[in-house]
Structure formats: C-alpha cells, structure tokens
Structure 1
Amino acid sequence: MSQSSSFYLSIFAVVLSSSLIGSLLGYFIPFQALRLNNAGGDIDLIGLMSSAPALGMFLSSLITPRINHRFPIKIAMTISLLLILITINISILQTDLKIVFLFSLIMGMCCGVIVILGETWVAESSPSTHKGRFIGFYTTCYTGSQLCGPLLISFFGFNDLIPRSIISTLLIISSIFIVISSIALTSRNIIHIRSSFNILKITPALFMAVFCFSFFDSSILSLFPIYSVKNGHLESSAALLITLIFVGDALLQIPIGWLSDKFGSKKIHKLCGFASLILILFIPYTINTPLIWIHMIILGGTAGGIYTIALVRASEIFSGSKLILTNSLFGILWGVGSTFGPIISGTFMKIFSQNGIILSLSLTTAIFLIFTLYKPYVMKLGKSH
C-alpha cells in the first residue's frame, strides 16, 4: 500500500470512529432522558443520568495522556470502541439506574479517549499545506454526525433494537478499520503536570477559544430556544433555529479550514472571532425577520471555526505527547465552558431579561478576541515531543 493510500485509509478510520461517537452521543443521551421521563423519573434524576457521558468525557481528558503513554494509539482506540460496544448495550438494556450510570460513565470516558486521540492524530498527521482543510473535514464529520442521533429516535422511537444494531455494527466495523490502518503518534512519552501550566501560558488564546465555543454551544443549546420563544417564535421554530446553527457549524468548517491554509490560521482565527461577535450582537435585530435563518447558519459556522482553528494552531505549535496533553486540556476547558455557559447566561437573562444571553455570549467572544491580540506565542516548549 502506498504512503498516500495508507494515510487516506487511516484518516477514514479515525474520522469514522469520531463521527460514530458524535452519532452515538446524539442518540444515547436524549434516548435515555426520554425513556426515564416516560417511566416517570424525576427531572433531577434525568439530569444526573444525562450528565454521565459528559462527566466520563471530562474524566477522559485527565487520563488520556497516561493511556497514550502505556498503549499505542491503535490499541487504545480499538479497546475503547469495543468497550463502548459493551457498555451501550448494557446501559440501554438495564433498568438498574446505578448500573446504567456506571456504564454510561465508562462509555463517556471511552468516547473521550477516541475524540482526543483522533483529534491529535488528524492534527499531527495532516500535511502542513492542507492541515486546516483536513481538520475542518474532521470537525464537519463529527458535528454533522451529531444530527444523526436524534434522527434515529425520530425514525424508530423507543424501539431500540434497530438503532442499537446499527450502532453496534458500525462500532465493530470502525474497530476493524482502526486495526488495519497505520495510525501512530510520534511520541508516547508521558510529560509532567508542570508542562500543563507552561502550555497554558504559551497558548492562552487557544484555550480561551475552546472555552468560548463550549460556552456558546451549551448556552445556545439550552437557552436560545427560550430567547426565541420570548421573541415571538413558536417552539418548533425555536428548535429549527438551533438546528440551523449546527448545520452551519457542520457545513462551513472545511471552507474555514481552506481559508486557514491559504491566509494563515492566526488571521482566520481572529476573523472567526470578530465575525461571531458581530453576528451575536445583531441577533436582536434579525430575530423577527427572515434574515434570522441565514444569520443562524453563518453564526454556527464562524463560532465553530473558533474551535476548529484552535485545533489547527495547536498542531502548528506542538506534536506528540505535548499535542495530546494540549487536546486533553482542551477537553477540560470544554467541560468548564459547557458547565458555566448555561449558568452564567441564565443569570444574565434573569438580570437583563432575554437579551442577557446576547450579552454573555458577546462578552466571552470579546474576551477571546482580546487574547488573540497578545504578542505571538513564545516558543518555550518548542514543537518537541
């Protein structure tokens, strides 16, 4: 097999695995929530059970560097896929909530390992002249696949046999492709925790980018429907606006990656932040006009670009173990942003009425832009392994 063919087989295997994670979470989390709700479960219990996969993904950010130190990426990803196969089937079939929570947690941890290692491999292995496009393709596939999960529920309802069979089959196929691929990382060295603080000091704009987008993502998902309804939209229309944001996120990452390759990642990163800030500030002026439909698509793309270009820029600075550590830290910041997004935005909406969410989103985006104005990164760690 030629080197080019080997690379494309490997990127297919990694993108398939990560996309499957998106579809899996998009199906599993709402399925379990709806099942518990139909069974008369308390809303607090439903929230706790729904948080298990996200909590698992957060924990995976803490342990993935050590997993990479002990196991080659092929073994780590294959074992994770097979563990997901086991845990999702047990979680869906079980009625004991303690067991469901435990296996959902383990499933989330395995999902996090695949996403972190997958992102790292794509970022490190993509040709430097096309890095933005490949990472954009990766994030497009992951985001687009998240829309497939709810569709499975729409088509099959609570008949979990067909969706579970589809997901299980794809997990087995994905693990086979990982095994026959040639994916490998340049280093499996473990690095000390103090390196985390050095990386944070060198790349503050990238970590603010991840926090900014996760804050945006969770706030939009949880509170923008309320904002839309308060501005006169029907619930169905409010849900459609959210869908359009994710559609824009999925559609525009490859073009944004191409712009990054052509004009430089730093310039495009600032452009995505500036465009997102302007689009957020103009939401109150378009929310009740036909322009809101196009507005949401473009906003989803530019906001998603803040995260995509953060991955590109991280791979331009680090590789090997340091890149894995960086992506793991991204995972931790994602968890922090996702947690505080709805809390802060909700508080702002109480204080400033429905436009509080506009204020909170614009403030976090503005802070990200301020971070991008700092002097170019001092390469204290270099691009060593």
Structure 2
Amino acid sequence: MVQNAVERSADKPESRQQGRLRSMAAAIVCISVVGFALSLTLPLLSLMLEARGVSDTWIGLNTAVAGVAALIVSPLTAGLARRFGTTRLIYLAILAGCVCLLLLAPAPFWLWFPLRFILSAAITILFVISEFWINAAAPDHKRGLVMGIYSTVLSMGFALGPAVLAIFGSASTVPLGIAIAAFLFAAVPVAFAGPLVPRVEGRANYRLLALLFVAPAATLAAFVYGSGESTMFTFMALWGIRGGLTESTAALLITMAGLGNMLSQIPIGLVADRANKTLALAVCGAFGFIGAALLPATVGTPWLVFTVIFFWGGMAAGLYTVGLTQLGARFSGADLAAANGLFVMLYAVGMLVGPGVGGIALDLWPLYGMPMVIATFFGIYAAFAFVRWWLAPPAASGRPIP
C-alpha cells in the first residue's frame, strides 16, 4: 500500500510526510489532466460527428457507449490492477486512450463504437485507480481535506476543456492534439511518484454487491450525485429557457453550478474530517433536495436562481467528496480498490438513469418536472442517510450516548 511505500522511502517522519505529499500530488495531477482531456473530448467528438452529417440519434447512441464501458470496466479494475500492477495498468490505459483519439478522426463511423468503448474504458480505469490511490495515500485525519482538494482541482480541469474548444473551434486539429498531449502528460506524475503508486495486493474480502450493503450511504452517494449532476448539466439551459430566461442567461446557470462545485469542496472536506461522515452525507443530500425544490419558484428572478444553483452545485457535489472520504475511512487495500470501482460504476448508472427520467419529466411538466425529479433523488437519499446515521451505535454516529 502507499503508506508502506512511503514509510520505506525514508526513516525520518518529515521524509515520510514529503513522500505522502508527493504521492497525493501526483495522483491528483494525473486524474485532473485526464479530466481536462475528457471535458474537451466529449463536446469535441459530438461536433466532429455532426460535421460529418451524423444524426443526433446516432451521436447519442455513440456517446452512450461511454456509460456502458464504465459499467462493465469499473468493477473489473481492481482485478486488472492486481494482475498487471497498478502503474503498468495506468500506463496501458493512457496509451489506449491516446491511440483511440489518434484513430477517431480518420476512422469510419462504424469504427467509432469500439474506439469509443476502449477510450471510455481507459478513462474509467484511470478514475478508479487514481481515486483509490488518493484515498490510500491520504492520512486518516485529513482525508476529507485531500478529497476536497482533489474535487476542486478536478473541477478546474473540467472547466478548462470546453474553454479550449471555444478558443480553437471543432474544425481545427488543435483541440484533438491538446487532448492527446494531455493524456500523454498524465503519465508524467505517475513516473514522478515512482514506487509510491499503491499496489493492489490480495483479493477483496467483499464481493462487489456486498460492498453496497457494507457502506450503502457512501456508495449510493455516487448514484444520486451522478443522476443529479448529469440531469442538471444536460437540461439546465433548456429548463431555464422554458422558465423565461434568455439563452445566454440560461447558459450561465451551468456556470454557476460549476463555480459552486469548485469553491465548496475544500470546506466540505474539512467538515467531513471533523463531523460524522454519514451525517455529512445526509446534510449534503438535504441541501440538494432543498435547492432543486426551490428552482421553479426562483427562475423568474435571475440573481436568486443563480444563488440557489450556486449553493446546489456545491452541496450536491459534496456527496461525491464525502462519499469517497467515507470509503477511504472504511476500507483499505483490495477492498478499497473494489469499493472505488463500485463507486464509479454507480456514478455511471446515475448518469444513465438521471437524464432519461429528467428528460421525460421536462417534456411532461416543463417548469417543475426536471427539478422535482432531482429533488426526489436527493430527498430520498437524504432521508436514508439520516436514518443510517441515527440508527448507528452512538459511538459510530457521533451522537452522545443517552
């Protein structure tokens, strides 16, 4: 594990601390660069297909392959890391991503489906391994802070991708070249970390679905956030326009949600280090419910709806940060790697379920439908997490013993 590797790197406590910082920094930089490449390629590939004359239906089907790849590959990643070695698997995933991006431009459309699957599988592997790496390297008493920093830096990477596309345009070869270069650069911090990259040794003590019952609040947080975030980002601009906002104002709603995400994760992580994590998840879920439920009543006042969506974006994203923090506190070794795989898999399930239900609701009830779907997801989860916290033994829940 990372901790043992750090301890072997030097005998002095300050050297061990430097090794831990070096390991965490390498993992965060690696996955944040991949996140930047992902946020750049998602809209870029759609625009490339549209320029070829491919219909929206086929573009959507090709994009959906990414979700299928995440569902299939994420639960297999721990076993692959154990078989091939963590570092080697990261390098293989980076190489596969670069090759797929190089082949997409000249490839016929039918070949985009297997290429998109391999590309998405590679990105999924990088996310699962990197989050396992960060969790394993983080000290117990500062894991929430580390996860908050990770979420913040990752959000910045996601924000930069579309900006690059806006500057150069989809007709230029520059964005695709930058995406390939970003994938290659992700290997640099891995090499910098060297022996500090964690190994997955031994087999997990829990089967994949058993982890869902061992830590349901933490794992289900990924599903709820995945469904809410994907629904919000897919339909928020359309919802704003149907609520009477101009197109430019409606587009800013997504920006405000992203800003709330970036600015709130470190404070939420600090709270998670000091408070009961299940209770913190319940509070994040409750704010996600309240924010979504308030949207229809605030859409007529731009500054008010911006405020609501800003806080919604921050508190909703707290589910991801605190959920990962709780997994790191609960599991270690192969169990942690498997739990991170389940976490990413449930996030992918949420991304598939949320927009489907949200789109139907938006059609049936333009102003209230989509926010109510999101509020329902978060409300049910908040109630579940609060009950889990309340029924836990007093010492585990953080409540005083009566």
What is aligned with 1:107?
A: 119
| Long gaps (5+) in structure 2 | 1-8, 10-14, 394-402
List aligned pairs for 1:308-323, cutoff 5 A. Answer: 308-323=321-336
Q: Which amino acid in 1 is paired with 2:307?
A: I
Contact 2:224–2:350 (CA<8 Å) still a contact in 1? Answer: yes
What is aligned with 1:367?
A: 380
* Matching of residue 72 in structure 1 with residue 82 in structure 2: no
* Matching of residue 177 in structure 1 with residue 189 in structure 2: yes
What is aligned with 1:325?
A: 338
Contact 1:72–1:188 (CA<8 Å) still a contact in 2? Answer: no
* Matching of residue 376 in structure 1 with residue 389 in structure 2: no
Distance 2:175 2:25 in 1: 22
C-alpha displacement of 1:159:
4.6
What is aligned with 1:215?
A: 227
C-alpha displacement of 1:119:
0.6
C-alpha displacement of 1:238:
1.3
What is aligned with 1:297?
A: 310
| Long gaps (5+) in structure 1 | 378-385
TM-score (normalizing by structure 1) = 0.91
Answer with 212-221 or 153-162: which moved more. Answer: 153-162
What is aligned with 2:134?
A: 122
State the secondary structure of the residue aligned to 2:204. coil
TM-score (normalizing by structure 2) = 0.88
What is aligned with 1:203?
A: 215
Answer with 227-236 or 158-167: which moved more. Answer: 158-167
Q: Which amino acid in 2 is paired with 1:285?
A: A
Distance 1:186 1:105 in 2: 26
What is aligned with 1:56?
A: 69
List aligned pairs for 1:1-385, cutoff 5 A. Answer: 2-91=15-104, 93-181=105-193, 182-185=195-198, 187-191=200-204, 195-289=207-301, 290-372=303-385, 373-374=387-388, 375-376=391-392
Answer with 240-249 or 164-173: which moved more. Answer: 164-173
Distance 2:256 2:144 in 1: 23
Provide runs of 4+ in structure 1 moved above 4 Å. none
Instruction: After superposition, give the CA deviation of every residue in 1:326-348 in whole Å (9 maximum; x if it has no partner).
Output: 11111221122111112212233
Distance 2:180 2:289 in 1: 41
- Taking a change above 3 Å as real, the CA distance of residues 349 and 157 of structure 1, as seen in their structure-2 partners, is closer
Contact 1:249–1:304 (CA<8 Å) still a contact in 2? Answer: yes
Contact 2:67–2:349 (CA<8 Å) still a contact in 1? Answer: no
C-alpha displacement of 1:160:
4.1
Answer with 238-247 or 96-105: which moved more. Answer: 96-105
C-alpha displacement of 1:111:
0.7
Contact 1:74–1:183 (CA<8 Å) still a contact in 2? Answer: no
C-alpha displacement of 1:74:
1.5
- Taking a change above 3 Å as real, the CA distance of residues 293 and 150 of structure 1, as seen in their structure-2 partners, is same
What is aligned with 1:380?
A: none
Contact 2:23–2:197 (CA<8 Å) still a contact in 1? Answer: no
- Taking a change above 3 Å as real, the CA distance of residues 166 and 342 of structure 1, as seen in their structure-2 partners, is closer
C-alpha displacement of 1:30:
0.9
Answer with 211-220 or 331-340: which moved more. Answer: 331-340
Instruction: After superposition, give the CA deviation of every residue in 1:344-371 in whole Å (9 maximum; x if it has no partner).
Output: 1223334444201121111111111122
Contact 1:57–1:110 (CA<8 Å) still a contact in 2? Answer: no
Distance 1:370 1:218 in 2: 22
State the secondary structure of the residue aligned to 2:207. helix
State the secondary structure of the residue aligned to 2:65. helix
Distance 1:247 1:90 in 2: 34
Contact 2:132–2:337 (CA<8 Å) still a contact in 1? Answer: yes
Contact 1:70–1:188 (CA<8 Å) still a contact in 2? Answer: no
C-alpha displacement of 1:78:
1.8
Contact 1:186–1:319 (CA<8 Å) still a contact in 2? Answer: no
Distance 1:57 1:138 in 2: 21
Distance 1:37 1:47 in 2: 11
Q: Number of residue pairs matched?
A: 376
Q: Which amino acid in 1 is paired with 2:189?
A: F
Contact 1:58–1:112 (CA<8 Å) still a contact in 2? Answer: no
% identity of equivalent residues:
23
RMSD: 2.1
Contact 1:135–1:257 (CA<8 Å) still a contact in 2? Answer: yes
C-alpha displacement of 1:128:
1.1
